[in-house]
Structure 1
Amino acid sequence: MASGRSLALAAALCLSSAAMAAPTQYPLSIENCGQTLTFAQAPENAVTIGQAGTEMLYELGVGERLAGTSLWFNPVLPRFAEQNARVERLADNDPSFESVIGKRPGLVAVQFEWMVGPQGVVGTREQFHELKIPTYILPSDCEGKDNLVGADGTRLQAFNIESLYKSVDQLAQIFDVQDKGQELIADYRKRVQAAAQRVAAHEGDPLSAVFWFSSADLEIDPYVAGRQGVADSMLTTLGMQNIIDSNEEWPTVGWETIAKASPDILIIARMDRRRFPADDYEKKLAFLKQDPVTRNMDAVKNDRIVIMDADAMQASIRYIDGLEQLAEASESFAQ
C-alpha cells in the first residue's frame, strides 16, 4: 500500500499537471481597450511606457525581450535590478515617439492611456499601428474609465483587481509564458485574501484614510485618490473608508476639506519622479508637520502616516505589496 507521503506527492503532481497551461496558439488575437491586437508570434522585442508594464514583464521572466523602458516612479524592485541594468531607459518620464519606434518593437506595453491614446502625449495608437507596431494598454486604465474627463481620468465603474490579473494573463499569452502567468495570479489572489482577513480579524470601527500622491505646488490643493480608483480599492478590500468623494482617479481637494473629514490614516506616495516639489515624500512630511491646517490633524499629531511606493498605488504588481503594507499599518494603528 502506498504511504500517505507518496499519495500526497502523487496528488500534488496531478494537480500540477492539471494546472499546466496550454502553449499559445499563434496567430493570437486579443481584445484590448477597444481594439483587436493580432500576434503572429511572441514579440522578439518590446518597449514599455510605464513602470507597471516593465515590472510585469520582468516578473513573467521575459525581461530579455525588453529593448527600452520609460515612465518610472520608483527604483526598480531589487530582484529585477540586474536585469533592468541591461535595458536602455528611454526616458524617466514620457519618451518621444521617435525614441520608441526607433527600437522597432514588436509590442509597446503602456500603463496609461494618456501616454498612448486619443490624446496621447507620446502618440496615438493609430500612429503606432500604422507602422505595424501593436500597442497594449493595461486594461486597468481603460476598462470602466473615461480618460478624457479629469487630469487622470474618471472612473465610471469601480476598479476591479481582476483587470490587473487580466494584464498579467494577457501579457503571458502574448509572450507564451502562460504557466508563469497563472502561477503569479494564483499567488496574488492568495496574498490579497490574506491581507483582507488580517484586517477583518480586528474588531472596532472601520478606519478612514486619504492617499496623497503629489501636488503641483505645496501651497495649493493636493492630488488625492478619488473613489472607485486603484488606490481606493485597497481601502475597500481592507474594509476601510476613503474620505474623498470624487470619481476622478486623482482629484485635487483642499486641505481644509481633508482636515475637516479627519482621516485616521494618511498614506503618502514615495517616488523618484520629480515633476512637482511634492513628489519628494520628505517635503510632504515637512509640509504636514508645519502647515497650520495639517499639523493639527489627528493622523499627523499621532504619526499615523504610511509612506508607500507611488507605483503601489497604481495597477501594478506592487499593488499587492502596498495592500499588505496598509493591512499591517492599519492593524498597528487600530491597537
Structure 2
Amino acid sequence: MFMKTALTGLVLAGASVLPASAETAWPLKLSNCGVDLSFDKAPESVVTVGQATTEILYSLGLADKVPATSVWFTEVLPQFKNANASIERLADNDPSFESILAKRPGLVTVQYEWHVGPQGVVATREQFSDLSIPTYVLPSDCIGKDNSKGSDGTRIGMYAMDSIYQGISELGRIFDVADRGEALVADLKTREAAAIEKAEGLDLKDASAVFWFSSAEMDIDPYVAGRKGPPGYMMQALGLKNIVESDEEWPVVSWESIARANPSIIVLARMERRRFEADDYEKKIAFLKSDPVTSQMDAVKNDHIIMLDAHAMDPSIRNIDALETLAEALPKLSPK
C-alpha cells in the first residue's frame, strides 16, 4: 500500500487553515544530531542524500527546491513520479562529495550518518560546514541509536515514529512551511493509530515474525531486522514477537536459528536495488521453498509470507504504509 495521493492535497490545504503563528521565526536555531544549526531564512535549494529525506520534502510540497537526489532503494512514491522525473539523480547509492557541491545547495539533507556524519562515506558534516553548507540529518538515525559500530549502527532504544514526525516538523520550519509539516504529521498519526487499532482485536499473543531484508549471497545467512529498529517497532505495535534478539539494525542470523524459532510470518523486502542476488524478492521466495532448512518452516509451508516495500523497513514516512499493509494481512495469517 503506497501513501495516499490525497495526502499531498491535505498538506497543502492545511496551509490555508492553520494560523499565521505557524510561520517560522527567524533566525531559526536547531540542535540536530549533536550539531547546532542556525538559519536566517529558508534555504533556496536542497540536495538530498537518502530517499527518506527526499520523500519528506516532496510531501511538504518542496520538490521545486530540490535540484538533485541520491541513495534510492525503490521507485519514488507514485504521486511524486512526475516531479521526481525532472530532478537529477546523482547516484542510486553513494553520491560523491564533489557532485553535491556542484549543485551549490543551500542545505544538504541526510538519511544516514553513515553517508554524512563523523565517518561519513560521502563526507563529514564539518566538510560541508567549512564551505558554509549546513547539513540536516533525520533525527530517526541518531535518536536512541549508536552509529559508531558498523554501517547500520545499533539501536539503544526502541525506534518510534516520533523521530520521523520530528524530522517532518523541523524541515517544515526550516523551509517556512511549518503548517504543511504539522498537517502531514497529523495525517500520519491518524493512520498509525488506525492500523494499530485494527490489529488489537486479533489474538496474536503467540504469533511471531522475521523480516528478511537481503543477503550478501543467496545461500548464506541473511540480514534480518533487529528488535529495536522500524520493523521491531511494527511488530511490537501490532502484537507480533520478533524472533531476532539483536539490537543491531540489520544483524546477520543463521537460517538454522531462524528455522528453530519457526516464525509464524516471514516478511520480505521488495526493492529495485540489485546490489545482491537476494535483493530480488522472487529469488528470496524460491530459496525459502527449495532450501532443505527453510522449506520446513511453518510460515513457508502455509505461505504466510508478506511482501513489504524495502524502504518501508527503514525509518521513513513509508513506515505507516508498512504498518497498514501488515495490519491488513494479519487477519488471514494470524493463528486460528
Fold-level similarity (TM above 0.5): yes
Matched-pair contact (CA < 8 Å) for 1:117–1:125: yes
Provide the TM-score with structure 2 as the length reference: 0.93
Residue 131 of structure 2 is matched in structure 1 by: 131
Runs of at least 4 residues of structure 1 off by over 3 A?
A: 16-21
Name the SS for the 1:136 alignment partner: strand
Where do residues 55-70 of structure 1 align in structure 2 (5 Å cutoff)? Answer: 55-70=55-70
**Aligned mates of 1:119, 1:239 — CA distance in 2:** 37
Name the SS for the 1:212 alignment partner: strand
1:164 has 2:164 as partner: yes
Matched-pair contact (CA < 8 Å) for 1:151–1:250: no
Residue 317 of structure 1 is matched in structure 2 by: 317
Residue 285 of structure 1 is matched in structure 2 by: 285
Relative to structure 1, the CA distance from residue 156 to residue 204 in structure 2 (aligned partners, 3 Å threshold; closer, same or farther) is: closer
Provide the TM-score with structure 1 as the length reference: 0.93
Residue 236 of structure 1 is matched in structure 2 by: 236
Provide the aligned length of Structure 1 versus Structure 2.
320
**Aligned mates of 2:54, 2:17 — CA distance in 1:** 29
**Aligned mates of 2:197, 2:207 — CA distance in 1:** 15
Name the SS for the 1:213 alignment partner: strand
How much has 1:270 moved relative to structure 2?
A: 0.7
**What does the per-residue CA deviation read over 1:159-182, in whole Å, with 9 as the maximum and x for residues that have no partner?**
121101001000100111111111
Residue 274 of structure 1 is matched in structure 2 by: 274
Name the SS for the 1:170 alignment partner: helix
Residue 7 of structure 1 is matched in structure 2 by: none
Identity of counterpart residues, as a percentage?
Answer: 57
Consecutive unaligned residues in structure 2, runs of 5 or more:
1-15
**What does the per-residue CA deviation read over 1:30-51, in whole Å, with 9 as the maximum and x for residues that have no partner?**
1100001111111111100110
Relative to structure 1, the CA distance from residue 107 to residue 216 in structure 2 (aligned partners, 3 Å threshold; closer, same or farther) is: same
Residue 248 of structure 2 is matched in structure 1 by: 248
**Aligned mates of 1:109, 1:79 — CA distance in 2:** 21
Residue 3 of structure 1 is matched in structure 2 by: none
Residue 113 of structure 1 is matched in structure 2 by: 113
Letter in 2 for 1:86: S
Matched-pair contact (CA < 8 Å) for 2:28–2:38: yes
How much has 1:218 moved relative to structure 2?
A: 1.2
Relative to structure 1, the CA distance from residue 21 to residue 323 in structure 2 (aligned partners, 3 Å threshold; closer, same or farther) is: farther
Matched-pair contact (CA < 8 Å) for 1:268–1:281: yes
Residue 51 of structure 1 is matched in structure 2 by: 51
TM-align CA RMSD? 1.3
**Aligned mates of 2:213, 2:190 — CA distance in 1:** 27
Residue 85 of structure 2 is matched in structure 1 by: 85
Residue 100 of structure 2 is matched in structure 1 by: 100
**What does the per-residue CA deviation read over 1:15-66, in whole Å, with 9 as the maximum and x for residues that have no partner?**
x956665201121111100001111111111100110000000000011000
Where do residues 169-184 of structure 1 align in structure 2 (5 Å cutoff)? Answer: 169-184=169-184
Letter in 1 for 2:223: Y
Relative to structure 1, the CA distance from residue 21 to residue 220 in structure 2 (aligned partners, 3 Å threshold; closer, same or farther) is: farther
**What does the per-residue CA deviation read over 1:216-244, in whole Å, with 9 as the maximum and x for residues that have no partner?**
11121100000111111011111111000
Matched-pair contact (CA < 8 Å) for 1:74–1:309: yes
1:220 has 2:220 as partner: yes
Residue 75 of structure 1 is matched in structure 2 by: 75
Matched-pair contact (CA < 8 Å) for 1:69–1:88: yes
Matched-pair contact (CA < 8 Å) for 1:21–1:178: no
Matched-pair contact (CA < 8 Å) for 1:46–1:107: yes
Relative to structure 1, the CA distance from residue 198 to residue 333 in structure 2 (aligned partners, 3 Å threshold; closer, same or farther) is: same
Residue 147 of structure 1 is matched in structure 2 by: 147
Structure 1 or 2, whichever has the larger Rg, is: 1
Between 1:269-278 and 1:63-72, the stretch displaced more is: 269-278
Name the SS for the 2:67 alignment partner: strand
**Aligned mates of 1:148, 1:19 — CA distance in 2:** 42
**Aligned mates of 2:143, 2:205 — CA distance in 1:** 32
Residue 201 of structure 1 is matched in structure 2 by: 201
Name the SS for the 1:48 alignment partner: strand
Letter in 1 for 2:102: G
Name the SS for the 2:74 alignment partner: coil
**Aligned mates of 2:267, 2:308 — CA distance in 1:** 7
1:22 has 2:3 as partner: no
Letter in 1 for 2:322: G
**Aligned mates of 1:175, 1:310 — CA distance in 2:** 28
**What does the per-residue CA deviation read over 1:53-98, in whole Å, with 9 as the maximum and x for residues that have no partner?**
0000000001100010010000011100010011000001110000
**What does the per-residue CA deviation read over 1:207-266, in whole Å, with 9 as the maximum and x for residues that have no partner?**
210110111111211000001111110111111110001000000000000010000110
Between 1:21-30 and 1:115-124, the stretch displaced more is: 21-30
Matched-pair contact (CA < 8 Å) for 1:211–1:225: yes
Residue 37 of structure 1 is matched in structure 2 by: 37
